Amino acid sequence: MNDPVWPEGYGRRMLAQVDSTNAEAMRQAGGLSGPTWIFAARQLSGRGRRGRAWRDPAGNFAASLVLRPAEPPGQAALRSFAASLALHDALSALVPGAELALKWPNDVLLSGGKLAGILLEGSSAGGRMMHLVIGIGVNLTGVPEPGEAGALPAVSLLSETGARIAPEVLLDHLAACYAAREAEFQAEGFAPIRAAWLARAARLGQEVTARTMRGETSGRFETVDAGGNLVLSTADGRRAIPAADVYF
């Protein structure tokens, strides 16, 4: 396939090594004039949701996108769906036929295992976002140590498909795909992003368990609503869950 054109208006900073691309993105955010990708060939102290460590064997992908959203924080955070869609778009183009799916709120699955994770961080003031950082980690060649009990097993693109994709190549494709999804988000809002995400959702219509710090809720995965909440049909009725870890 043809190499993608780097999207106009997006910067990129290529680093050999960093503690965390998200941490570096937050450090650099104040000095950036526009949306910028922070890429690292090696990430030594990556982070996942709820402060979990994200392990990055050599050859895997680690990058963060710094944005200055115009929307209030809740609306700006819906870009997690745009980011996972863009990653799905990029991987589908690079490895046609790969069995990819999206897991709420922000994981990308391959053949039923966890291939990639996305972490949003940011700063706000007066109800407005100052910066939004979208961190993306992809197991291109290696997988981390087994995670907590009940979590999906980690898989790599190489082990599941035999495809060896250089991290820099994925960055070029991902940047182009994200720019297209961002343009769609700005022009049409969350609705088309939501519809496209649901069309690729893992376990839609099936039983899942959403676990929070306060407990867990099980039910049929009905949809994702206009606010990005997970909607479950439970024995006690319909429940909208704003934040949780989902287990199959």
pLDDT of 126 reads 80
Domain residue limits, the chain: 11-198, 207-247
Q: Which two tokens stand for residue 148?
A: 């907590």
Per-residue pLDDT of 206-245, as tens digits, reads: 999 999 988 999 999 999 999 999 999 999 999 999 999 9
Per-residue pLDDT of 4-39, as tens digits, reads: 999 999 999 999 999 999 999 999 999 999 999 999
pLDDT of 66 reads 98
Q: Which two tokens stand for residue 1?
A: 């396939």
Per-residue pLDDT of 156-183, as tens digits, reads: 999 999 999 999 999 999 999 999 999 9
Give residue 238's identity as a one-letter amino acid code.
R
Instruction: With residue 89 as reference, give the H or E element that holds it.
Output: helix 79-94
Where does residue 1 rank: exposed (0-12), middle (13-18), buried (19+ CB within 10 A)?
exposed
For residue 190, pLDDT over 60 is answered with yes
Which of helix, strand or coil describes residue 43? strand
| Beta-carbon contacts of residue 231 (< 8 Å; ≥ 6 apart) | 221, 222, 223, 224, 225, 238, 239, 240, 241
**How does DSSP classify residue 227?**
T
Per-residue pLDDT of 30-70, as tens digits, reads: 999 999 999 999 998 766 555 555 566 789 999 999 999 99
In sequence order, the β-bridge partners of residue 101 are 109
pLDDT of 55 reads 62
Length of the chain: 248
Mean pLDDT of the chain: 93
Asked if the domains 11-198 and 207-247 are classified in one and the same CATH topology, the answer is no
pTM to 2 decimal places: 0.93
Architecture of the CATH domain 207-247: Roll (2.30)
| Beta-carbon contacts of residue 47 (< 8 Å; ≥ 6 apart) | 20, 22, 23, 53, 54, 119, 135
For residue 149, pLDDT over 70 is answered with no
pLDDT of 150 reads 61
In contact, 225 and 197? CB cutoff 8 Å: no
Fold of 11-198: BirA Bifunctional Protein; domain 2 (3.30.930)
Cα gap 96→15, rounded to integer Å = 29
